[in-house]
Amino acid sequence: MQTETDSTDLVGRSGTDVEETFGTDHDLLRRFAHGDREALSEIISRHEVAVRRVLIGLWEDRHEVDDFCQEVFLRFIERPPVLSPTQELGPWLYRTALNLVRDRARRRRVRQWFRLVERPGRRREFESETSADVKAQEREHVVRLHDEIRRLRPAWREVVVLRDLMGLPPDETAGVLGTTTKAVTDRLHRARRELARQLDLGSERESE
Amino acid sequence: MTTDPNKKDTRKGGSCRREAESWEAVATAARTGEPIDESTAGHIEQCASCRGVADQAKRLDPLMSALSDQIRADASRPESSLRGERTAELLVRLVTYEEWRRTARRACAASVGIAASLVLLYAVTVGFADREDLSSRRPSLVNPAASLVDDVDKARMREDPLNSAVASAIPVHGWVDLPSRGTSADSSMWWVVLSYGGSR
């Protein structure tokens, strides 16, 4: 369930090689602060896929995901963060992406309240249990899982995306969300139980 | 948590306190292929809640992995990528333009604010200075505590209020019919207050 976030996001390059060639995030930030445009290109190359993964996990509209992704890097350019030499830029970018999604979700709720935007409906139940195409069934389950993740309450949804889909460790997830590790563990467990319930996976808690 | 790892740690509502730990152990074992540690494995065997949770974890974890892989593939598509020197250049130009626009708007707002402050300042200070020559003791916005009259004028006001220094200093907005002589001495005082247009 937990996957690596670093090296496979850098297409064709391993994480260690990249840092050796181009320097750490802190080095790149310093170079960008001095007007080095190549440093900006490298930062975008290094982090764009991961930021996009977070956004795709949280938001269903792919065009808006592209806008969010651009906005994240625009905000980075306008007001770059100050990092210590050992810190990475990833958590700051993820936090910015989360804030953008939260703002948009809040505005959409207001528009939904005024019936200006349709509420997203649940996908139809997967009907065929006799389909010979197991892969198609799995794909359908995966799509349903993604829908159900987006339907979770925001606090749970964010934890699931960061922990289970992005593979961030608990302390880093807590740092991005501005909460404690215990809260992250608690929310993640509740979210997983809810997802399992919505997807009808496993039995309800058995009584002894 | 109890010291016996095989006992159920029951919360209110019948759930076990170790459910999250059990789920995480099962999911990690499925991902890495390493066995679950003995303590947790023993507890899962004994605890019905955690057995149910482990079962759910075994079913949900593969779906979550597949979803993670799918999202990674989607995010790596080159069509919507921002990568490239040209795009970085474009983003920087866009930000520069936005900053210029913001600076221009702030400069306009500041100019309007300064102009409004100057007008207000003029109204407060110069506006009052055009009045007729007043007693230097007349209270003003600069010195509201200044006494309107000194003791000599107070005495003259009691005897002949209409010709006192105070009466000549006060701009007349209207007259009030004075009560006839013979009423109390204090009744002659209140006409000064009613006809004065200021706050005193």
Confidence of residue B51 (pLDDT cuts 50, 70, 90): very high
How far apart, in whole angstroms, are the C-alpha atoms of residue A83 and residue A23? 14
ipTM of the complex: 0.80
Pick from A48, A53, A66: CB nearest B71:
A53
DSSP state of A123: P
Give tens-digit pLDDT for B59-83.
999 999 999 999 999 888 766 566 6
Angle, helix A37-58 to helix B85-129, in steps of 10 degrees: 90
Q: Which residues of A touch B87 (CB under 8 A)?
A: 44
| Beta carbons of A196 and B91 less than 8 Å apart | no
Chain B residues whose CB is inside 8 A of the A157 CB are: none
pLDDT for the residue numbered B144:
57
Rounded Cα distance, A26 and A187, in Å:
32
Mean pLDDT on B177-192? 51
B67 touches chain A (CB under 8 A): yes
Average pLDDT over residues A14-27: 70
Sequence-separated (6 or more) residues with CB below 8 Å from residue A41: B83, B84, B85, B88
The encoded tokens of residue B185 equal 């001495």
Contact across the interface for B92 and A204, Cβ inside 8 Å = no
Predicted pLDDT of residue B11: 58
Provide, as residue numbers in chain A, all residues whose Cβ is less than 8 Å from the Cβ of B68: 1, 3, 164-167
**How far is the CA of B105 from the CAs of A68, A77, B117, B157, B198, in angstroms?**
25, 21, 18, 60, 41
- The reply to whether residue B51 touches residue A206, judged by beta carbons under 8 angstroms, is yes
Tell if the CB–CB gap between B67 and A77 is shorter than 8 Å: no
Please list the residues that pair with B10 across neighbouring strands.
B16
Position A148 scores a pLDDT of: 94
- For chain A, what percent of residues have pLDDT higher than 70? 76
Q: Identify which of B152, B135, B104, B155 has the alpha carbon closest to the alpha carbon of residue B200.
A: B135
Task: Give the confidence band of A59 by pLDDT, cuts at 50, 70, 90.
Answer: very high
pLDDT at res. A206: 44
Question: Pick from A16, A36, A55, A52: which is nearest to B83 by CA?
Answer: A52
Closest residue to B60, CB basis, from A3, A74, A192 = A192
Average pLDDT value for residue range A201-207: 53
A154-188 per-position pLDDT tens digit: 999 999 999 999 999 999 999 999 999 999 999 99
DSSP A44: H
pLDDT value for A11? 41
